[in-house]
Amino acid sequence: MIEGAIVTYVNALGTSEGEQRFTDAVALVGDQYKVETYNDRGFEEKYLIQMDRGADFLLKAGALSSVFFYAEGSRDRSPYFGWSSLVDGIGPDASRDDIVRVLGEPYYSTPQAMLYAVDDAFVRFAFEEGTLTMAVAQREAPGVGTASTTSASATATDPDPDAAEALRAEPEAEPEIDGELSAFLNALGKPIHSPEHLALIVLAGPAMEVEEAEQDGAAWEYHRFPKTGVILQFKNELLVGALVRLIADEDESAYPRPERLVTGCALPSSRAQIKEHFGTPHYASEDMDLYLVGERYVQFNYESDQTVDVTVLMPGVGV
């Protein structure tokens, strides 16, 4: 049974700014936050970011979709301040075994995540190389939808083994990406001149043009590689997005080895081939498919149903 402050956040999922449950959830963290928005081809996200409190609120189409609680701090972000009361019995140093001992078996599990259904929502524990990185209260799970739409009822408060087994079969697995595109994914969130960034220069460089800009108090840098069709986007010296062109035109070159970007799916390709390889997208519009890979996005853009570029990005960022 999941108990603790996270229940307040779960209950707020699906509400909008100004509604009491939304206001109560934000007040638990604090009312000082920075707003970042992402809008691309009708896909709209809004983030309320509380860097010094270690929590982010994500709204999609105006409704609260997810709340992120970070277990680890970084140069720009503190860990979540309230881990002692977030989920009873679970701390920021909890292992997968610790979580199972407290909450029981998850209804769905991968090496990167453990997912528990709670009423009409989910609580997810995310891992990187076996270390807990965050807990997330989320309205939907990729490949599942909302908990209320699943074909069986298995929650942390009603752990029916047969129902849990049925639910474990429901989700569509997250896409797995290897090939050269994985280097771009691995570099997201890493600083300029990190080993991960230098690996991208090997792939895209060395000829590079740098553009700098100041926006909303943040320092942005755009590293353009005109000979290989790559653009790297940095915010406060951390890589937050990368665009790789697949088709050259009069003004822009294309990536020289597109067939090596994704093992088993030679790019450029048709939209049908992308869906056959990656499955159902997290979000789709007329000329874009967006996939969630761990805590990162992979976006394929199309013209006449043919891929023209692929972008990897952190949530809340457009390239």
Chain segment 174-207, per-residue pLDDT in tens: 677 889 999 999 999 899 989 999 999 999 987 8
- Whether residue 241 sits in one domain with residue 156: no
Domain end residue (candidates: 168, 202, 219): 168
The predicted structure's pLDDT at residue 4: 94
The predicted structure's pLDDT at residue 286: 87
Q: Is residue 176 part of a domain?
A: no
Chain segment 235-284, per-residue pLDDT in tens: 889 999 999 999 998 888 999 999 999 999 999 999 999 999 999 888 88
Chain segment 130-152, per-residue pLDDT in tens: 899 999 999 887 555 444 444 33
Domain end residue (candidates: 168, 203, 231): 168
Nearest-angstrom CA–CA distance, 142 and 132: 20
Q: Over 60: is that where the pLDDT of 297 sits?
A: yes
Place of tokens 């707020």: 12
The predicted structure's pLDDT at residue 217: 78
Question: Could you tell me where the beta strands, DSSP code E, fall in the chain?
Answer: 34-40, 43-50, 55-60, 63-70, 108-110, 113-118, 121-128, 131-138, 140-141, 145-146, 209-215, 218-225, 230-235, 238-245, 283-285, 288-293, 296-303, 306-313
Phi, psi for 157 (deg, rounded to 5): -95, -5
Which whole-number Å values give the CA distances from 95 to 1, 137, 206, 230, in the listed order? 18, 18, 41, 38
The CATH number for 293's domain is: 3.40.33.10
> Residue 14: left (phi > 0), alpha (psi -120 to 50), or beta?
left
Q: Is residue 101 part of a domain?
A: yes
- Whether residue 213 sits in one domain with residue 106: no
